[in-house]
Structure 1
Amino acid sequence: MRNSRSSLLILLAASTAFAGDAVFVNSGQPADVRTSGAPWNHTEHGLRGSGTGNVLLGGKRLGPGDFTVTMDLTITNLAESAATIVVNQSHFGFEGQGGEMFAEGPLFGRQNLGKPVVKEGSKVNAIVSRQQDELTVGVNGRTLIKAPISSRAQVDVGLRPWRSTMLVTGFRASGNLVAAPEPPPHVTVFKSGAGGAHTYRIPAIVVTKKGTLLAFCEGRRSGRGDAGDIDMLVSRSTDNGQTWSKPVIVWDDEGNTCGNPAPVVDQSTGTIWLPMTWNLGSDHERDIMAGKSQFPREVYMAHSKDDGLTWSTPVRISNTTRKDHWRWYATGPGNSIQLTRGPHKGRLVVPANHSDHSDESQHPYRSHIVYSDDHGKTWQLGAIHEEKTNESAVVELSDGSVLQAMRSYHGKGLRAMAVSRDGGGSFEDLYLDNALNTPVCQANILRYSFADGEGSREKSRILFCSPRGGGRSNLHVWMSYDEGRTWPVIRQIYEGKSAYSNLVRLPDGRIGVLYEKDG
């Protein structure tokens, strides 16, 4: 992830309506377009886009009512490329793996649509239209897929090359056009190649009792990999994320790996606790998993009592937080929490995961919990989940229960979830949340407000952040008003490459996302 950046994102949105026609690309010249990922370049043959994370969208959205979008293009390197027409977060694919057309995403579901109608290098005329509550996608005069869609929904239409090369000569729309929201402002907190690190990864962020933002990450000195000389870093902001201090080293153990930040602020004492993990820099995950490393992954804890300015020497806490047959181990990554209500009020709860080697023929990953009931003086091992779970995040429910959202290896592309009624000591049966369609990747969950909270306008709000769909791109935030049972609000944050993330409620009430961008 040589060019990855961890950036703080503040969410803003606005829209204005226009009626009539719009020309986005005219005779290969961009007139009014939005792009994500690498630039689309004007050539004598058309507007050219290639790669995997690049998307070309019209400069305006289609608002409520009927509309028609027309695109003229040619596609090379088409074979099994997964080149698509984009409709909001759904895709019609010209040709995917197996050599068939396909559709995927919330509008279409996953479908195979038969042999391709587009040939390598031939001219393509694609039309996307809505009439009343039905969406239609057609190519070269043939209707290829229809799907229900609300006539009131705003729609983005565009193109994604995904390993192909697209040359766009025409792109126009007619209907009720709506100004696209301005991209939320970004502030780069850690930039790869700067400050002596090759790559910055694994973000975490918290707000201290004084309102200071503390952004943590791994500073990977010599490469992008998960092993080697990796330091734990922190940067501070005292102005709601507008400016940031130079990164300060929390832990540098010469050439070894110090990572996986999972910070939490004790609201009673003001102490910031920082769970982390450690391994020899020469040991890779495969070595640790195979039992060939000198040491397994170890668990450490550091803390700060001066608002994140200085940090204690990390202390090993593995004896009470891991089992002897565990080898791989990761805290978080992302923020931990303190419970604010219920019988376990005040408990510090750390999400974590490990590899289980109790059966030498199987080595599954499992999520688990670590907690402290004495303000960080001691740390204990809590509940352990079933296999096929991994990196995770936790959020407090309105009755003091804990909801854990986990990276899933169940092969369904959904988040694994489970609820604890005893502060993380045990969990109810795991379930896969059909609304949270996410790749195999870390994600984050945040309590924004309780229904009875001051200034919450009597609403419970829980936020969830992750790439959406099958790959590490297309970062979204979901919102739930009913304690995570449903997620009716979904907002795209970034169309391009995006991976690990951590949500935060800023002191002024806005929402921030510290995330890996364009890696």
Structure 2
Amino acid sequence: MSARLRARLRSTLTAVLTAAALCVLALPSPARASATDASGASGASGASFEQQVLFRASQDPGYACFRIPAVVRSTHGTLLAFAEGRVHDCGDAGDIDIVVKRSTDGGRTWGPLQVVNEGAGDTHGNPAPIVDRETGRIVLAETYNTGRTDGRGCDVPCDRTPHLQYSDDDGLSWSAPRDLSAEILPPNWNSWYATGPVHGIQLTRGRHAGRLVFGVNTETWNGSRVTANNAALITSDDGGDHWRIGASDSWPIAQDGTFRQKPSELTLTERADGSVLVSGREQDGTDLGHRTQTVSRDGGDSFTAPFRDLPGLYAPQVQGSVLRLGDRVLLACPGDPDRRRTMMIRSSYDGGRTWDSVDRGTVVTTDWSGYSDLVGIGGGAVGLLYEGGAVDARDEVRFARFTEDWLTPRRGPDPTTDDLARHAEPAA
């Protein structure tokens, strides 16, 4: 694609996104809380959307920044909202703790901050919680690396290692961490390694019902450079006591540093037919500027095909989250095509094969926004834990709750016109 065409597409998409956001923001109160003032919940009784700030440095002393949200609902109905508590700054490789807050009323009110795993100078992060519905145990996968004090990122190769904790008392206390490297860190995944960061799932259908699954992305280092990107699913059939590497997809990096795809920060949901939809961030490849996706039909043991980019699903380079809500699959991620701004919920009605375009999505906020996680609260309500801020996406972590009737309703296809360019698809 030429630079001129890229520029024209970006300009057009930005205009469409802006128009969509303005249309949503024009909805009368109390249909939604203010998109630019997320400091409190909507005051209207029975409103279908409300949000509040859950983590912010000014209200949680001891931390300079909170990032990387993840949220699950326990078998007791308790919501557990995880984040990285970054002690000195917002850097990715500093002194970082994993922290959690609990809610026993569906996310309306929250308890105090608890430290689940203290970095003590190192980076302990990338929380990927999973609830075992059979035992009630909450499993938390996480990743460590040596911490820095200069605000810079991890050196390449990065000494990242996977670990695991669990709670048997609804998230009130947590086991000592154990290192999972012997099980799920093979020798060729010897540079970057990342669990989640987003909730994992427990399968409910088919011969693998009860299996726990979460995603990882890693890199391979040959002693002088990174030679491959790897995306994989990690599975357990005994409640998290033992883990194995399941489906895996690797993409080589050429000598000049170029590569086609780098699927990372995988988010999963079980589709109605029992297959697993896997959506990922696409990072710096030649298929740039979209989400990337694949499916597993055997409980996470293998992928049906390599990851592929979705040209119609524009998103900046950012982690996202998916959740099945009845016959609808929700995707939360910023809707601006090239920057972390305008958190949006887009929907798929065919298991992720096609997705709403930005003009059909539902805008949560037009603020700067970044990482997110979705959780089913029960009673038709959904929770969204996401990074947002009026100045920077890393300003705070917010929790929004909404019902399906708040989302943009499904509508039929728009009219199209033939594109006379050779091999081109019809234009909307």
Instruction: Note closer, same or farther for the CA distance 1:395–1:365 as it changes in structure 2 (3 Å cut).
Output: same
For 1:201 and 1:154, locate their aligned partners in 2 and report how far apart those are by CA, in whole Å: 25
Which residue number corresponds to residue 275 of structure 2?
401
Aligned AA for 1:312? S
- Note the C-alpha offset of 1:285: 7.7
Q: Which residue, out of 160, 172, 176, partners 1:313?
A: 176
Deviations 1:237-279 (A, max 9, x none): 0011111111111111411111000000000000000000111
Which residue number corresponds to residue 417 of structure 2?
none
Asked if the contact 2:328/2:351 (under 8 Å) is kept, the reply is: yes
Which residue number corresponds to residue 187 of structure 1?
52
Asked if the contact 2:157/2:221 (under 8 Å) is kept, the reply is: no
Q: How does 1:26-37 map to 2 (within 5 A)?
A: none
Give the secondary structure class of the aligned counterpart of 2:82: strand
Aligned AA for 1:308? G
Matched, 1:436 2:313: yes
Q: Which has the larger radius of gyration?
A: 1
Q: How does 1:113-192 map to 2 (within 5 A)?
A: 156=23, 179=28, 181-183=31-33, 184-192=49-57
- Note the C-alpha offset of 1:222: 0.7
For 1:303 and 1:408, locate their aligned partners in 2 and report how far apart those are by CA, in whole Å: 30
- Note the C-alpha offset of 1:487: 2.3
Give aligned pairs, total.
Answer: 349
Task: State the TM-score, normalizing by the size of structure 1.
Answer: 0.63
Give the secondary structure class of the aligned counterpart of 2:322: strand
Asked if the contact 1:344/1:400 (under 8 Å) is kept, the reply is: no
CA RMSD of aligned residues (A): 2.8
Instruction: Note closer, same or farther for the CA distance 1:178–1:417 as it changes in structure 2 (3 Å cut).
Output: closer
Asked if the contact 2:21/2:363 (under 8 Å) is kept, the reply is: no
For 1:238 and 1:361, locate their aligned partners in 2 and report how far apart those are by CA, in whole Å: 48
Asked if the contact 1:265/1:338 (under 8 Å) is kept, the reply is: yes
Q: Which residue, out of 375, 388, 393, partners 1:517?
A: 388
For 1:288 and 1:101, locate their aligned partners in 2 and report how far apart those are by CA, in whole Å: 35
Aligned AA for 2:53? T
Q: How does 1:185-334 map to 2 (within 5 A)?
A: 185-193=50-58, 194-282=60-148, 287-290=154-157, 296-325=159-188, 326-334=190-198
- Note the C-alpha offset of 1:425: 1.6
Which residue number corresponds to residue 325 of structure 2?
448
For 1:224 and 1:418, locate their aligned partners in 2 and report how far apart those are by CA, in whole Å: 32
Instruction: Note closer, same or farther for the CA distance 1:462–1:493 as it changes in structure 2 (3 Å cut).
Output: same
Asked if the contact 1:288/1:328 (under 8 Å) is kept, the reply is: no
- Note the C-alpha offset of 1:386: 3.1
Instruction: Note closer, same or farther for the CA distance 1:154–1:475 as it changes in structure 2 (3 Å cut).
Output: closer
Provide structure 2 residue ranges, at least 5 long, that are not aligned to the other structure: 1-5, 34-48, 252-261, 393-428
Aligned AA for 1:447? R
- Note the C-alpha offset of 1:507: 2.5
Q: Which residue, out of 313, 324, 332, partners 1:465?
A: 332
Instruction: Note closer, same or farther for the CA distance 1:351–1:155 as it changes in structure 2 (3 Å cut).
Output: same
Deviations 1:283-310 (A, max 9, x none): 988554236xxxx211100000000000
For 1:499 and 1:349, locate their aligned partners in 2 and report how far apart those are by CA, in whole Å: 24
Aligned AA for 1:393? T
Instruction: Note closer, same or farther for the CA distance 1:334–1:286 as it changes in structure 2 (3 Å cut).
Output: same
For 2:277 and 2:28, locate their aligned partners in 1 and report how far apart those are by CA, in whole Å: 37
- Note the C-alpha offset of 1:429: 2.7
Q: Which residue, out of 328, 335, 342, partners 1:474?
A: 342
Task: State the TM-score, normalizing by the size of structure 2.
Answer: 0.76
For 1:416 and 1:378, locate their aligned partners in 2 and report how far apart those are by CA, in whole Å: 29
Provide structure 1 residue ranges, at least 5 long, that are not aligned to the other structure: 1-96, 110-127, 129-134, 136-152, 159-176, 450-459
Give the secondary structure class of the aligned counterpart of 2:191: strand
Q: Percent of aligned positions with the same letter in both sequences?
A: 37
Aligned AA for 2:54? V
For 1:373 and 1:275, locate their aligned partners in 2 and report how far apart those are by CA, in whole Å: 15
For 1:178 and 1:318, locate their aligned partners in 2 and report how far apart those are by CA, in whole Å: 50
Q: Which residue, out of 212, 237, 242, partners 1:373?
A: 237
Which residue number corresponds to residue 12 of structure 2?
104
Asked if the contact 1:230/1:259 (under 8 Å) is kept, the reply is: yes
Q: Which residue, out of 373, 378, 382, partners 1:502?
A: 373
For 1:210 and 1:491, locate their aligned partners in 2 and report how far apart those are by CA, in whole Å: 30
Matched, 1:382 2:232: no
Aligned AA for 2:378? P
Aligned AA for 1:472? R
For 1:359 and 1:483, locate their aligned partners in 2 and report how far apart those are by CA, in whole Å: 41
Give the secondary structure class of the aligned counterpart of 1:506: strand
Matched, 1:486 2:354: yes
Aligned AA for 2:83? C
Q: Which protein is richer in helix relative to its size?
A: 2
Aligned AA for 1:439? P
Segment of structure 1 superposing worse, 258-267 or 368-377: 368-377
For 1:514 and 1:443, locate their aligned partners in 2 and report how far apart those are by CA, in whole Å: 11
Aligned AA for 1:467? P
Deviations 1:455-495 (A, max 9, x none): xxxxx121111001211011111112211112245211111
Q: Which protein is richer in strand relative to its size?
A: 1
Aligned AA for 2:28? A
Instruction: Note closer, same or farther for the CA distance 1:348–1:285 as it changes in structure 2 (3 Å cut).
Output: farther
Aligned AA for 1:513? L
For 1:441 and 1:478, locate their aligned partners in 2 and report how far apart those are by CA, in whole Å: 15
